[in-house]
Structures are given as C-alpha cells and as structure tokens.
A and B are shown apart, each in its own frame.
Chain A
C-alpha cells in the first residue's frame, strides 16, 4: 500500500495461477506485454479514459477489505465459479460438452482456439491497454463453444467472487473468457462480479456466427474499494443477435466497455443498462458499436441513479463504415441525480462514413419529478416511500427489457438489494 504501481510491476507480477503455456500462447502473451508496455496504464490524458483515470486509481490508495454479501444466484443454471480469480471446478457445474478451462486451452499447442483468443473485434483490441495487460497476464477463464444449431440449456452463470482482501490482489488478477456461438447456436449467459479485488481485469470475447443469438446479463456488485476494468468484445455475422443488459453499482474504480463489430447484414446489437452509484463510487460504461455491414441495427439505453458524491460516465460511440448503408443506431442515456454532488459525464459520439443511415442519440439528467412526488404524497404515500417508488420505477423501465423472467428477477433483486442498502442516500437526497 502507498507505493506507486508501475507498468513493470503489473507486467512482472507473476502469480502461481499463470501456468506454463503452449508456444502460440507464449507468443500471444508476448504481444500483450509489448502492447501494454507501449500504451501504459490508462490515465485521464487519454481521450477514452478522461473520466476513468486507472493510473490514479491504482496509485497509493488503501485497498479495501473483503465484503460478504449475498450475491445473485440463477436456479438450475450451469455455473462457472471463480473465487479470487481461480475457476473452482468443485463449486462449478460446467457444461462439459461445450466448455474448456482456459488453462487447458493455453497448454494445448494444437488448440483450435489459438487463432481466436485475442482476435475478436481486432480493430478495437489494437490500441487497447487493458487488452494488452489481460493478454499478457491472463490466468484463468474458459472457452465456451456452442456447435452449429445447438442451444446451451440451461443458461450459464459465470460467478466471479473475490473473498481475499484487496491488498492481496493489488498487483492484478486477470480473467479471460471466450464464447463462440456457431451458426444458428443460442446461449444465455449471466455474469456476476462480487467482492473487492484490489485490481482485476476481465476480458470477455464473443463471436457470433451467422444467425447465432446470445443473451448476456452482466451484474457488477463489487465492494466500494474494488478496482475493476472489464471489456466485452463482440463480433457478429449476418442476422446474429446480441442482447445485453448491464447492471453496475460502481466501485472505487469500475469500468466496463462493450466493443462490438457488426460484420454481416441484419446483425443486431441491443444493450440496456442501469447503474446505481453512491458515496464516492465511480462507474464508467463505455461502448463502441461499429456497423461494418449494410442493414445492421444497434440500440443502447442506459439509466443511472446517482447519489452521494459519485462520479459516472457514459461514453457511447457509434461508427458506421462507408459501405454500411441502411444501418440504424440509437443511443439514449438517462440519469437521475439524487444529490447535488453526484456527477455524470455523457458523451455520445457518431463517426458516420455512409450516407444512408439512421442514427439518433439523446441524453437527459435531472432530479426526481416533483409533480409525481406530490401526486404520490397527496394519495397518502409518505415522502420517503414515494421517493423510493419513483427511483424504482425509473429503473423498472430498464429491467423490463430483460425478456427471461428468471433473469429479470435476478437483476430486479440486485436493484432492490441496492435500494434497501442505500435507502438513506436515496431518500434523504439533497
């Protein structure tokens, strides 16, 4: 604690988790090391990291102690259980026909995934420091492949939990997941993150072949002192569909990037999200959706409830390549500011190089609606309860976009839990 974490430190810290690797994996790691060494720890002087200065977050701050909390559980699901960055097979229920632990993949010199890991949405990986670091140091994770026409059933719950004190993992723990859905394959994945990692990166690579469908729910319920930088990368072929829902409670440093490339006609990405932050927490949702083929569609809608002196950011970028005509892209950010000290930075960006496209974006930030509050109170609902009702209602609209009832319940439960724990901040706003 107190020492400055350097690039060298992060790259050199070898853990027992990192096992010997196949030659291709060694080469891949070396490329990651070079990339991270060149790019460095991201800081606010880099455009994309303006609101999320990882360098500062890692410098000399006290690492929090572990918190114990009941984390969501999806009944009847396959489970990939990670404790302190380690895939714990004994506490998992893995879909053995489809899933291979990352350690096995990296030890296999003839692995069929050698050319896939670290290659999904290569354009966005190229100059990404976290990708460099994670590739250099990825320890555990898995590769999930659903063959052509098959459906992963039940869904897979990826439970990532940190029970160690933050100080023990301040030199970084790095999880890598790869999901490949072959033509027409379908899967539902719930990813939950809990506990207080001193510093963790999680990279999830997704490849959806023709007509594949993935439903992906991510829930970040980290402890207040946690530092985590997560990146989800996706590549979609024609008519493939990705439906994501991201729920985040923020942390000392909590950033998630969704970087998608739509490569085939009629591919569709839909991302809804909600973030609930209070105290001094930080929460950053950054997206880059690249429309690289005609007739592709994307939708992003985020809702934030911000209290205390929290700081949030939503950076949504839509890129339309020159031949991606007839594409349509929509992005919206709504923020509910419950305190004078809470801050949100909203930055929509459009880079459009085609002339026949439909792109729209909007952002709002405001307080609870005074008229609605009065209406509820005039019906006899006490102010505190009325405020809580309106905050829940604001989030309900995001939660309603989750189609599966069991998944919607998991996310709703997480929201209810947060509102109960932080009732004071939500109710006595000012």
Chain B
C-alpha cells in the first residue's frame, strides 16, 4: 500500500526527515511513535503533499505509484487521507457543503459518478449518527465553534465518507478525553478491512489501546530507529523514549 524509501525532507531549508524508510502493507495498521521534534508531523504533511515540505531525495510509493510530485487533491483522490492534528476552522463554508464538495470532487477525479443528493444525504446521516455528529454540526460552518472532540469526530466522519485506502492519523488523540477517544477509535476500527491501511502517528501509547497496531515504529531524528509489534508501544510507555532509543542505537 505505502512504501517510503530513504526519504529526505527539508522544511524552510531545515533537514527534518533524514532517510525515513517504511512499508505499510494493505490491511495493516502501523503506528509511528516518537518524541517531540522527531519529524512526526513532517511525515504526515509530506505524505499529504503540503506545500513547503520539500522532498530532496527518496521516494514515496502509494499503491505502486510514485506520488512525490502529485498535488494534495490528486493524492486524496487516489485514496490518501490525512486526519489533521488541528482541524481547520473555515467560517462561511457549511460542514455539509464542504463534505459534499469533497465527495463529489474525488468522484469526479476518479472518473466515478457523483452520488445523487438523496444518496449523499443518506450516506452522511448514517455515518453522522454512528459518530454522534448532530444535524446542527452538519449545518454549522466547518469546525467553527466545535469542541476538540467534535472536530476529531468530524474528521472521522470525513474519513468514513471518503473511504480512503490509506488513512494517516496525525496525533488524533491530542486534546481528547477518554470518551471522545473511544468514539473516534470505534469510527476508525469500523473502517478497518483487507484493503484499508492506517498509519497512526502519536506521541502517547494511549490511542493504541483502542486502535490496535500490527507494527509499531519509533521515529527519532528524522528516521525510523526501531520497529516491533504492539508491545513496543507499551515498552516505550514504561521506560521512556531515551531508554528504548538508546538500546536501539
């Protein structure tokens, strides 16, 4: 699904990723953990194609295709989804209108038929109900006045409607209480399947209690320094980054 090979990325002339390599097969959930400044957010923004994140060498293959030179919207249409750490508020665009525009744009780019107004409404209502997203939240401007939990639930709602094949969750657990975290995790787990992969980027092990990873990677200094199964996350939580990374080095 995703193959990252010896990736070097600079942001404002500063080298952040220095030889990141990572493979996420179809249907698997991989977690990237790492201390502050390790390059976690840079990894997620680079995957989504944000301007200013310059790939100086290395490759990102997504479903067999090199996507380094693709704009964000084309990556999205190919099935890449980034759940934002801080979802953006956009006054003046209703949540509903945004969701419809996104779903239709992706369908158009993939050469598929756009869902009819009735089909779309049913899709949204069904997904919103499961995620406890109210009608009022759908009518409001995108993320404006939403609590931290509401914003994250709204991200999972977008993910559910857009049906990505790879979802990158960037510190989705930040700012969530335990109930909100459980709801978000349930939404993510509902999307798990043989054709869907997840890359869960997090600072803490807590989220991984709810979204169980197949592989855990430790990112430090701009590259993966250690990989293991889910027990690695527990070990990090118990011993701290220094002890574990120290062992790896």
Which residue numbers of A lie inside 8 Å of B, CB to CB?
A: 369-372, 374-383, 385-386, 389-390, 392-397
A393–B92 touching, CB < 8 Å: yes
Q: A380 near B88 (CB under 8 angstroms)? A: no
Please tell me if B51 contacts chain A, counting CB pairs below 8 Å.
yes
Q: A374-B50, A397-B92 known; A383 and B87 CB under 8 Å? A: no
Is A377 a contact of B84 with CB atoms below 8 Å?
Answer: no
- Which of B101-109, B200-208, B222-230, B234-242 sits within the interface? B101-109
Instruction: Tell me if B46 is interfacial: C-beta within 8 Å of chain A.
Output: no
Q: Which of A369, A370, A375 has the most CB of B within 10 A?
A: A375
Chain A residues in 8 Å Cβ range of B158 = 379
- Say whether B51 contacts A370, CB under 8 Å: yes
Instruction: Find the residue from B75, B76, B109, B158 having the highest chain A CB count within 10 A.
Output: B76
What are 11 of the A-B contact pairs (CB < 8 Å)? A369-B88, A370-B51, A375-B88, A377-B49, A378-B75, A379-B105, A380-B77, A380-B109, A380-B162, A383-B73, A396-B93
Q: Across the interface, which residues of A come within 8 angstroms of B218, CB to CB?
A: none
B71 near A: Cβ within 8 Å? yes
Residues 43-72 of B contacting A (Cβ, < 8 Å): 48-51, 71-72
Q: Is A385 in contact with B82, judged by CB distance below 8 angstroms?
A: no
Q: Determine how close the nearest CB of chain A comes to the CB of B107; give it in whole angstroms.
A: 9
| Binding site secondary structure of chain A | helix
| Residue from B49, B92, B105 whose CB has the most chain A CB atoms within 10 Å | B92
CA gap between A393 and B92 in the complex, in Å? 4
Please state if A372 and B101 are interface contacts (CB–CB under 8 Å). Answer: no
Closest to A384 in B: B73
Q: Is B90 an interface residue (CB 8 A)?
A: yes
Point out which of B51, B73, B82, B102 has the most chain A C-beta atoms below 10 A from its C-beta: B73
Q: State whether the Cβ of B91 lies closer than 8 Å to any Cβ in chain A.
A: yes
Residue of A nearest to B45 (CB): A374
Q: How far is the CA of A397 from the CA of B91 in the complex (A)?
A: 7
Interchain CB contact under 8 A, B92 and A380: no
Contacts of A374 in B (CB 8 A): 48, 50-51, 72
Q: Are A394 and B92 in contact (CB under 8 A)?
A: yes
Q: B11-37 toward A: CB 8 Å interface, digit per residue (1/0)?
A: 000000000000000000000000000
Contact of A372 among B48, B72, B90, B105 (CB under 8 A): B90
Out of A371, A378, A389, name the residue touching B76 (CB < 8 Å).
Answer: A378
Closest residue of A by beta carbon distance from B168: A378
Flag if B105 contacts A380 (CB, 8 Å): yes
- Chain B: CB-nearest residue to A389: B93
| List of A residues within 8 angstroms of B106 by Cβ | 380
Judging by beta carbons under 8 Å apart, are B72 and A395 in contact? Answer: no
Contact of A381 among B48, B49, B73 (CB under 8 A): B73
A400 to chain B: closest CB distance in Å? 8
Q: A370-B51, A383-B71, A385-B101 are in contact. Are A378 and B90 (CB under 8 A)?
A: no
* A-chain residues with CB within 8 Å of residue B90 when the two chains form the complex: 372, 375-376, 390, 393
A374 to B141, CA, bound (A): 17
User: B82–A378 contact, CB under 8 A?
Assistant: yes
A374 to B72, CA, bound (A): 8
Q: Is the CB of B92 within 8 A of A381?
A: no
A385 engages B92 (CB within 8 Å): no
Please give the distance in Å from B109's CB to the nearest CB on chain A. 7
Question: Smallest Cβ distance from B33 to chain A, in angstroms?
Answer: 23
| Complex-state Cα separation, A242 to B163, whole angstroms | 50
Distance in angstroms between the alpha carbons of A395 and B90 in the assembled complex: 12
Name the A residues within 8 Å of B84 (CB-CB): 375, 378
Residues of B within 8 A of A389 (CB): 93, 101
A393 pairs with B105, CB closer than 8 A: no
Query: Bound complex: CA of A376 vs CA of B71, how far in Å?
Result: 12
Q: Which of B140-196 contact A (CB under 8 A)?
A: 141, 158, 162
Q: Which residue of A lies closest to B75 (CB)?
A: A378
Give the docked Cα–Cα distance between A374 and B45 (Å): 10
Residues from chain A with Cβ under 8 Å of B105 in the complex = 379-382, 385
Interface string of B78-89 (1 = CB under 8 A from A): 000010100110
Q: Which of A369, A393, A395 has the most CB of B within 10 A?
A: A393
By a CB distance below 8 angstroms, the chain A residues around B48 are: 374, 378
Residue of B nearest to A370 (CB): B51
Write out the residue numbers on chain B whose beta carbons fall within 8 Å of the beta carbon of A396. 91-93
**Which residue of chain A is the closest to B99 with respect to CB atoms?**
A379
Give A382 to B141 CA distance when docked, in angstroms. 20
- On whether A380 and B102 interact (CB within 8 A), knowing A375-B87, A394-B92, the answer reads yes
A393 touches B102 (CB 8 A): no
| Structural contact, B91 and A379, CB atoms closer than 8 A | no
User: 15 additional contacts, CB 8 Å, given A374-B72, A377-B72, A393-B91?
Assistant: A372-B88, A372-B90, A374-B48, A375-B87, A377-B71, A379-B76, A379-B102, A380-B105, A380-B162, A381-B101, A381-B105, A389-B101, A390-B93, A393-B90, A396-B93
Task: Select from chain A the residue with minimum beta-carbon distance to B50.
Answer: A374
CA distance A393 to B142 in the complex (A): 10
Give, as a whole number of angstroms, the nearest-CB distance from A370 to chain B.
7
Partner of A377 from B73, B91, B92, B141 at Cβ < 8 Å: B73
Q: Does B101 contact A371, Cβ atoms closer than 8 Å?
A: no
Whether the Cβ atoms of A381 and B102 lie closer than 8 Å is yes
Q: How far is the CB of A279 from chain B (nearest CB, A)?
A: 25
Q: Are A395 and B77 in contact (CB under 8 A)?
A: no
- B102: which A residues are within 8 A, CB to CB? 376, 379-381
Bound CA span A372–B51, Å: 12
Q: Please indicate the chain A residues that have their CB under 8 angstroms from the CB of B71 in the complex.
A: 377, 383
Residues of B within 8 A of A382 (CB): 73, 105, 109
Per the bound structure, the CA–CA distance linking A219 and B141 in Å amounts to 26
Chain B, Cβ-Cβ closest to A375: B88
Residues of A within 8 A of B87 (CB): 375
